[in-house]
Amino acid sequence: MIPIEQNRLQDLTKDEIPRYSRHLILPDVGIEGQKKLKAAKVLIVGTGGLGAPLALYLAAAGIGTIGLVDFDTVDFSNLQRQIIHTTKDVDRPKTASAQDKIKNINPNVKVNVYNTMLKSENALEILKDYDVIADGTDNFQTRYLVNDACVLLGIPNVYGSIFQFEGQASVFWAGKGPCYRCLQPEPPPPGLVPSCAEGGVMGVLPGIIGTIQACEVIKLITSIGEPLIGRLLTFDALSMRFRTLQIEKDERCPICGKNPTIDKLIDYEQFCGLKRNEEEKPIESLSIEELKRRIDNNEPLQIVDIRQPHEQAIYKFPNALIIPYGQLYRRKDELDPRIDTVIRCKEGKRSIFAIRTLEEGGFKGKMFNLKDGVNAWTKTFVPDAAQY
């Protein structure tokens, strides 16, 4: 499926024969297939929930070169699902932690580390030398960026995504089928789909989807089986059901259709509505220190906690009005516009969209976003409270 040039193929060493013996005795893989895996170059974008099993299994399978793109560091909250990282890796760069585990599994693998954020300015340069891109990202702007870069470079994009108890996987390869934009022409409105940090995720779910992605990478390189090109595999962990949906190539797609209008990478934050319109009124923030001062001085305030009930169970902010984000619009009349309102969530991100929702709904009161949210508050003022 992926043309690996003959001059890149190398014989397996004496030590590699027993290492990959279970591949070698598979008629569909054999020596030639394993030599293709050894010659292949795979870039994994993101070394989190999806990238962890991807990196582990591709390293074990004998992929010759694995690239890792990530700018984040390991946090305690990652350890529930990002199995490539361990407790001793907390606060280390994820790429460094992942590189160590890859080398422990298979020292024959060459690891290229890009400890940076993938952006329009660097994506083409980073992706261009790889045979397959495996998308392990968790946000829409990077998914569109990876998709568009892959289309422009003619590289297959092995896609995966997860949300709470559900996952998806596919292979987007514009030369042979649809791309991600054919499935999702427009991103959802900002704030509609929470991240794992805000919405939660079942710990084993990314392991299942990431392993499926690794399987698709191996199939593409060795030219075996039927890849998920033109098909979307969906998985529901609660019902333990898989479904396969057909994805049609959109001839009007702006990047892979008959008359493409996108011929270079764009500003994906703007495309996903994450950049503030210059005409929009800026959202005012309140620091946790200022909020505490106003509370201690008994200043009139209404504090609105927009977190979900299961989040409230971890830490409940005293004297706050609890209105989950999804109920905010219809319950806006419960707020007194004569009193300053402080909107709070876990990290100070959902609360920005909540304030926009109230503004669009006609609420005229003064509103503040609690900067960095409940986690910053508990870390500073309630150190015994659990962080999540």
Where in the sequence numbering do the catalytic residues fall?
A: 196, 345
The H-or-E segment that residue 163 falls in is strand 157-163
CB distance 346 to 311 below 8 Å: yes
Strand partners, 386: none
Strand partners, 32: none
How far is residue 14's CA from residue 304's CA, in Å, rounded to a whole number?
65
Across the beta sheet with 241-246, what order do the strands follow?
Answer: 110-114, 65-69, 41-45, 132-135, 157-163, 166-172, 231-236, 241-246
How far is residue 283's CA from residue 326's CA, in Å, rounded to a whole number?
20
How far is residue 21's CA from residue 23's CA, in Å, rounded to a whole number?
5
The H-or-E segment that residue 354 falls in is helix 350-360
Two structure tokens written together for 288:
């946790």
Q: Phi then psi for 380, rounded to 5 degrees?
A: -90, -45
Total residues belonging to the chain:
388
Report how far apart, in Å, the C-alpha atoms of 242 and of each of 53, 168, 376 are: 19, 9, 39
Q: What is the DSSP letter of 171?
A: E
Q: What is the DSSP letter of 164?
A: B
Query: Checking DSSP bridges between strand 166-172 and strand 157-163, what pairing results, if any?
Result: antiparallel
How far is residue 224's CA from residue 226's CA, in Å, rounded to a whole number?
7
Measured torsion, CA atoms of residues 11, 16, 19, 22, in degrees rounded to the nearest 10: 20
Distant-in-sequence, close-in-space partners of 335: CB < 8 Å, separation ≥ 6: 302, 304, 321, 341, 358, 363, 365
One-letter identity of residue 338: R
